[in-house]
Amino acid sequence: MKKISKKDIARHLRQEQTPAEAHLWQLLRDRQFQNLKFRRQHPIKEYIVDFCCLEIMLIIELDGEYHNDVYQKEKDDLRNTHLRGLGYRVLRYSNKIALENTQIIYDAILKRKEESTPSPLREKAGMRVLSTKKLKPNQRELLLNAGVSFVEYNAISIEPIDFEIPEEIENSIITSQNGAKAFLNAIKKLPLLEERAGVRCFCVGNKTTALLEENNYKVVKTAQNGAELGHFIAKNHKNEHFTYFCSKQRRDELPTILKEARIPCNEIVTYGTHKNEQLFHQEFDGVLFYSPSAVSAFAKANTINIAFCIGETTATEARKYTDQVIVSNATTIESTIAKAVNTLKKLTS
C-alpha cells in the first residue's frame, strides 16, 4: 500500500477547506494584501498549517469549535511551541473572526510585516543566501562579485575516529574528501607504502578523486553519487573484494547495492559528523547544501524555501523538506554557488 505523504494530505485539505478558510484565502491569495505571498495548507516539519507567509515567517491558524476542547488545546499549545521554536509567529483566530472581522487579522499581519522589514543593508545587498559550510576566500568572492550577500556557518563538524588499516586492500571505496583524508593519514603511518600505493580506488566526487591522485593512488572510477558507484561496481567488478572507508552516518544505497550483488565489502568507519542545529531568525533567498547531513541539521531548526544542492544524494535529502530543490552542474562548492547565483538572478530579473 502506498504511503500517504504530507503533500497528499495538504492537497486534500485544500480541496476540503472550511468556509472560513475559503473566505480568508480569497482575501490573501495572489499577494492581494501588502504584496505578501501566502500559502494555504502548507507542510512545515510534521505539521500542516492553515496559512503561511515565509517572507515574514508568519502562520495563521483558524480554529473551529473542537479547538475549545481541553485535550485539543494542549495539542495546539505544543504545536505552537514547536513552530515558534522554528522562528515563526503563530496567530490563532476563530472561524467567526475570519468570517466577520477580518480587519483584526489584517492588522496583525501588517504588524508582523513591519517587525520583519529588512534592514537597509539587506535592501542594498539584494539577494541573500546561507551557506551551510564556511567558505574559502575564492568561494566568497563568487558571491560578492555577483552582488549576493551571504551568511555562512558549519552545519556539521567532523569528528575523526581511530581505525586500523587492513593488511591487504584490493580495492578501496571512498565517497568523500573527509574519508580520503582519513584514509591517507592512516595509511602513511604504516610500512610497505610502495605496495599500498597500488591500491585501486573507487570514488564519489571529483575533489575526492583529485586528492587521491595527488597522493599517487589510481582511481578506477569517479561517480556522482554512491548509487551510481554501486551500480558500476556491481556491473564491472563482480568477483572482487572491496574496503569501504566511510562515515559513521553513511548512506545505505551503495552498501545495499553491493550486498544484493553479493560483492564482499568490508566497511571501516573513519569519521563521524556532529550536527549543528542552529536556528536563524531571518529569511534567505536560498540555502546552499553540500551534504545530506547538513540538510537534516539545518531543517531540524529552520524552514527551507529553495535548496541549492551539490549533488543528487544531497538533493534527495532536501526533497524531504521542500519541493524547490536545484542541483548543481558539478559536485563542487563552486558549481553550487554558481548555480545559486544564476538561478536567483533569473528569479529576480
- pLDDT tens digit string along 102-161? 999 999 999 888 877 544 433 434 688 999 999 988 888 888 888 888 899 999 988 888
Set of cell numbers at residue 306: 529553495
pLDDT score for 67: 67
Rounded CA separation 306/292 (Å)? 15
Ordered by start, the domain boundaries in the chain are 6-116, 121-155+276-348, 157-274
End-to-end alpha-carbon separation of the chain, Å? 44
Query: Running along the chain, 349 residues long, what does each successive block of 10 average in pLDDT?
Result: 57 75 92 90 86 90 79 81 82 92 92 68 61 90 85 90 83 91 82 64 90 89 90 93 90 91 93 87 90 92 92 91 90 90 80
pLDDT score for 54: 87
Rounded CA separation 154/277 (Å)? 10
pLDDT score for 85: 74
CATH 3.40.50.10090 fits domain 121-155+276-348: yes
pLDDT score for 318: 94
The pTM of the full predicted model, rounded to 2 decimals, is 0.53
pLDDT score for 1: 46
pLDDT score for 12: 63
Check if the beta carbon of residue 321 is closer than 8 Å to that of residue 304.
yes
Common-topology check for domains 121-155+276-348 and 157-274 = yes
Rounded CA separation 147/172 (Å)? 42
Burial of 94 (0-12, 13-18, 19+ CB in 10 A): middle
What CATH class does 6-116 carry?
Answer: alpha beta
Options 3.40.50.10090, 3.90.1150.10, 3.40.449.10, 3.40.640.10; which CATH number does 157-274 get?
Answer: 3.40.50.10090
